Structure 1
């Protein structure tokens, strides 16, 4: 009797089947699993995270950046101390308080010339994605095109919003404009409405690929002809290893086809959680009313995060002011660091797998000309079980590429990130990785 009473008093669990279907989607589990593995094997060397190196971070910089920003408001803008206090301590402008500094930095660094009113400051780039997707996709048939493989942040956001997604196969040089055109037409033929393409044109996550300038121009021409918007995500464009920086799609955009998504996570500090979206497209409303798309995004933001942290914005704002709104120059040391880590990673892979051994094993990798990531093809299933064996027995972590594919690809591929490790740790990490690959290849042959 007592057991029956206790059972009746116990709260009834919610049924997973009654919650949003995205909660059972493997895309939403991918990052949680990786974090779990890292926590379980803290001694393993990790090529998994795409986070920036911490070598240049100093806690005392945070207070200095805030002081710089406050001084700017007082001495350059003529604000009173009370106005400055309100700016930092209270709710602020929904679209952000450092939009003018961001616009100036984009003009200096990227040749992107837009009104500050077209910039929405967001809580990281992830919010920029969510706001943009929610605003643009209004009908069930609206379809988002994405490169395959693709960053799980955008596909996960689309899943949360019940947006149809169509993968576009990626080549050695990033998205092929002709494949994009074929996907647009195939989507229409199937009854869908291709609304936008998400793309990382420089050193993409996860593949490390980059689009040639000619391909960018061709993609913009297709977007204009096919009435397609482009969501350009550009977190890694500064970090060139070889050659010269390429113009962003937004810098080449003459018809306002591109929404430019950005973040200060890689170029400043991820802890500030400050991103942005450039949305300078005009929106025509009733009675001939015209607004900027940025203003429409602001309405959505007011119902999600309300506004982006003023303190986080002040930190980034102070950094931008100290750099003269020339963040590329301020990142010179970071650019050199990531160039060194990528060169070390490529060199160690070559040392452990010279050409003849690569052919015998069926191992190969790409050689990105910048960024944080490269991809290794291996002769075995690079799945979560293999990752656990790699961590437990060999003390090295990586990321399965299958997590980034919507079309069942990437099963024998793994992603390596070199951003968060010092060169000497990369040397040891590749030694462990080589032992793991050799052991798995031998097992696959057996």
Structure 2
């Protein structure tokens, strides 16, 4: 073989997993690229927590709090060193503290062994999907629009989710039941339904309490599990509606949690509450969480012991009442949401928005709201908005697994100051007016 016959080990995209060709996996990269390309633009795109209340010294204080807790519990210096520096159990080290917090803050009463601590909530999604979707005939249903982290995880695991499109007023239980029965008619086995009940990403909607009870009743009748993802619920006004898991009496809900929004995102600590019993071949039974831990052992081995220690210290500092620890932050987000809605009303009075065909929802809390516009709000429009008007948003089409949302956009209010919101909405209004005029001329 001659030297010119020797080829590099380069690859074509067609040789790699099909998910890498899916536009879905490019969405976050595109948004980051747009944001960095136009640093002077005001960005309503990232769902980042506000970091104005973060204090570097808190990290050390929380770490010391956890170390003191271990010492008070009778752990030796060697055991404490091991708890901070070593790998630790795959399922996590702080399930007892998470269980205590869920009990006092969320009225979720589960044993610690039903919890697995994960690298952010994103890993929890991967673990649950890998465990529940056993083959091509198993169906995952998702509310649509849907958080791209779930649909992206499904795509990477070769799972094609079945979308149940929400109506103007939110999820219809009748629509979900029809989708479940349609899957069974196709010879498939509906396994789980994924939903964000509180201040959802991307729309910001919250599921009413009667609908929560109806959903649990449907899960019992149709023999499916509910994957409840609620990272934003403690960032809304009190009193909070009950979680699906707190209402669950039949172990139908797998609760996916995260401390990224309530503690700080850099910790990358999430968890899954999976108390469903799994029976083995010998007739023994254990929690689904133990099966998730088996998968985790081959993915990330375990979650950072230092990150767990810091989160544990945070939980100890507030006696598990994260909602109280986050009261000031939640009020900041509520103020940001009110400011955004006020500026939208000011820039688009009723007669003008009716003439344009513009409308938006009014979430009670969380990070996001959605807005309908009279033009295609895709990547090309986003680039024009950033370049010519200095404002960035997220196309809602990113969040529709089966297509849709082409004339809608998502606004995130979590990371902006009052002045930035005022100026940003003014720029957005100018962009919408200009884009609408251009659309009319076509």
Q: Report the TM-score when normalising by structure 1.
A: 0.97
RMSD after superposition: 1.3
Q: Which of 367, 370, 377 in structure 2 is aligned with 1:382?
A: 377
Judging changes above 3 Å, is the alpha-carbon distance between structure 1 residues 112 and 392 closer, same or farther for their aligned structure 2 residues?
same
Deviates more, 1:121-130 or 1:418-427: 418-427
Q: SS at 2:424's partner residue? A: helix
Do 1:372 and 1:419's aligned partners in 2 also have CA atoms closer than 8 Å? yes
1:126 paired residue number: 122
Q: Residue 32 of structure 1: CA displacement?
A: 1.2
Match of 1:250 among 245, 249, 264: 245
1:43 to partner: Cα distance: 1.3
Give the ranges of 4+ consecutive aligned residues of structure 1 lying more than 3 Å apart after TM superposition. Answer: 4-10
- 2:173 alignment counterpart: 177
Match of 1:393 in 2: 388
The 2-side partners of 1:121 and 1:297 are apart by 10
The answer on whether the counterparts of 1:142 and 1:164 sit within 8 Å (CA) in structure 2 is no
In the alignment, the residues of structure 2 paired with residue 382 and residue 121 of structure 1 have an alpha-carbon distance, to the nearest angstrom, of 38
| Partner SS state of residue 433, structure 2 | helix
Tell me the equivalent position of 2:24. 27
1:423 is matched with which residue?
418
8 Å CA contact 2:102–2:109 kept in 1: the answer is: yes
Q: TM-score, normalised by structure 2?
A: 0.98
Contact persistence 2:235–2:262 (CA under 8 A):
no
The answer to whether structure 1 residue 284 and structure 2 residue 286 are counterparts is no
Q: How many residues align?
A: 441
Q: What do the CA deviations read for 1:389-446 (whole angstroms, capped 9, x no partner)?
A: 0111111100000000022210000000000111111111101111111110111111
How do residues 152-301 of structure 1 correspond to structure 2 at under 5 angstroms?
152-241=148-237, 244-301=239-296
Residue 443 of structure 1 corresponds to which residue in structure 2?
438
Q: Distance in 1 between matches of 2:5 and 2:306?
A: 48
Task: Provide the secondary structure at the position in 1 that maps to 2:234.
Answer: coil
> How far 1:244 moved relative to its partner?
3.0
Distance 1:173 1:5 in 2: 68
Q: Residues 263-314 of structure 1, C-alpha deviation per residue, up to 9 Å, x if partnerless?
A: 0010010000000000001001112111110111110011110000000011
**SS of residue matched to 2:263:** coil
1:5 Cα shift? Answer: 7.5
Contact 1:69 1:318 in 2 (8 A): yes
Partner residue, 1:55: 52
Unaligned runs of 5+ in 2: none
Q: Hey, what's the Cα distance between the residues in 2 that align with 1:378 and 1:341?
A: 22
Q: Distance in 2 between matches of 1:97 and 1:340?
A: 36
1:141/1:193 contact within 8 Å kept: yes
Residue of structure 1 in register with 2:112 after alignment: 116
Counterpart mapping for 1:320-335 below 5 A: 320-335=315-330
Give, in whole Å, the separation in 2 of the partners of 1:436 and 1:191: 48
Q: 2: CA distance between counterparts of 1:179 and 1:423?
A: 39
Assess if the C-alpha contact under 8 Å between 1:173 and 1:212 holds in 2. Answer: no
